Amino acid sequence: MRLAPTTLRGRLAAWYAAVLALTLISFAAAVYFFVADDDEADQCVPANLCTLVDPPEHIGRRVGIAVAIALPGALAVAIGGGFWVTRKSLKPIDDIARLAGELGAETLDRRVALAPDAADELVALGEVLNRMLDRIDRSVHGMRRFTADASHELRTPLAALRGELEVTLRRPRNGDELRASCESALEEVERLSELVELLLTLARSDAGELPLSRRPIRVHETVQRVIAPYEPVAADRGIVLECAGDAALELSTDPAWLERALVNLVDNACKFTPRGGRVRVETQPCDGGVRIVVSDSGPGVSADDGVHLFERFFRGTRARATPGFGLGLALASDVVRALGGTLAAGPSALGGAAFTVELRA
């Protein structure tokens, strides 16, 4: 059981209370010593000589001597002890300042370590700083990984485009060959443009600069606009594309960005659903808001991939054979978060994966 104060304010208050008590005790002891000493001396003086001594002046002199001896000693103890207590209590702040000065991009794994008997305020400060360093460390590592992955993804279409152009210029070609070469180069340019647009959107999301324009919308109509372009593709592959739910559900949100998020989810569902499968988009009311569930009968999401599903450029073991950048789910998650909602993944009743968007009304 700790009886000593655990806060810096409590420790300083206890110390100065102890100094005040020591000063009073010292002063009282000194006064008592001189008074008792003079009383003994007075007993040795003949009675007829006591009248020669002026009692008030005698007492004042004794009190002055007591103050002159006790006060400097108590003051020295107060100053020296206060300096020691303050230095010991504030030493963790010096350690924190030293650590902050030594931190760099390569040393973000270091953390504030405080002694077990440190003041509660400093322990709280150290915990806050450690949590801040954890966030910075994750952000820096994420930025490095994002930069490396983006560089790799940008390098691939650029290399393909350059190779195609070099082959085209190396020898003369007829019109059909030249046209085929230009079409191939155009495909790579479109792929590159799509990737750059995704990266710019993610960068704006990170900076909190997605321009939102909220207005009341009918969610079912928005979902129908999203799935309409995928209906011919689904029909060609024998995929049943369904839209279900309450047609009267309304929500105040940005329809353009909501459509952008749903497009990525529906595109993923159609992309990974095998021929003859099903993709279902359903709208439901939930806790004063709206829930939109995009489910499919595809291979689903493994437990290992589920942890990293919304990370940028992450492509699971079942998705690596399918064209893409690994940015669709990350972008959808960022957009839904900007709209004030959540995006979660789980198993689908259709046998594949289900992505659930929840938005507040």
The answer to whether residues 260 and 267 touch, using CB atoms and an 8 Å cutoff, is: no
The mean pLDDT value for 186-192 works out to 80
Average pLDDT along the chain: 77
Tell me the per-residue pLDDT of 150-184, one tens digit each, with 9 for 90 and over.
676 677 778 777 877 887 778 777 778 778 878 87
Q: What is the pLDDT of residue 32?
A: 66
Region of poorest pLDDT, from 90-94, 251-255, 262-266, 338-342: 90-94
Q: What is the pLDDT of residue 49?
A: 43
For residue 146, pLDDT beyond 60: yes
Q: What is the pLDDT of residue 43?
A: 52
d(CA 331, CA 205): 9
Quote the percentage of the chain above a pLDDT of 90.
9
Q: What is the pLDDT of residue 280?
A: 93
pLDDT band at 3 (very low <50, low <70, confident <90, very high): low
CATH for 215-360 is 3.30.565.10
d(CA 151, CA 148): 5
For residue 59, pLDDT beyond 70: no
Please state the separation of Cα 319 from the chain's center in Å. Answer: 29
Residue with tokens 């509660």: 120
SS3 for 288?
coil
The mean pLDDT value for 126-139 works out to 82
Tell me the per-residue pLDDT of 32-58, one tens digit each, with 9 for 90 and over.
666 555 555 555 545 454 444 445 556
Q: What is the pLDDT of residue 357?
A: 92
Region of poorest pLDDT, from 39-53, 209-223, 272-286, 323-337: 39-53
Q: How many CA atoms lie within 13 A of 41 on its CB side?
A: 8
Region of poorest pLDDT, from 92-96, 119-123, 171-175, 266-270: 119-123
Q: Given CA atoms 197, 198, 204, 207 in this order, what sign does their dihedral have?
A: negative
Quote the percentage of the chain above a pLDDT of 70.
73
Domain ranges within the chain, ordered by starting residue: 8-102, 149-206, 215-360
The answer to whether residues 202 and 185 touch, using CB atoms and an 8 Å cutoff, is: no
Which is more confident, 51 or 323?
A: 323
The mean pLDDT value for 276-301 works out to 88
Q: What is the pLDDT of residue 53?
A: 46
SS3 for 52?
helix
Q: What is the pLDDT of residue 1?
A: 45
The answer to whether residues 246 and 283 touch, using CB atoms and an 8 Å cutoff, is: yes
SS3 for 333?
helix
DSSP readout, 180-204?
A: HHHHHHHHHHHHHHHHHHHHHHHHH
Which is more confident, 98 or 64?
A: 98
The mean pLDDT value for 307-327 works out to 68
The mean pLDDT value for 209-228 works out to 88
For domain 149-206, the CATH architecture is Orthogonal Bundle (1.10)
Q: What is the pLDDT of residue 54?
A: 45
pTM more than 0.75: no
Q: What is the pLDDT of residue 356?
A: 92
CA separation (Å) from 175 to 161, 163, 166, 180, 185? Answer: 19, 19, 17, 9, 15
Tell me the per-residue pLDDT of 220-262, one tens digit each, with 9 for 90 and over.
999 999 998 888 888 888 899 988 888 888 889 989 889 989 9
For residue 19, pLDDT beyond 90: no
Which is more confident, 66 or 112?
A: 112
> Which residue blocks in the chain are alpha helix, DSSP H?
8-43, 55-102, 120-170, 175-206, 219-227, 231-236, 255-272, 303-306, 328-338
Region of poorest pLDDT, from 138-142, 242-246, 352-356: 138-142
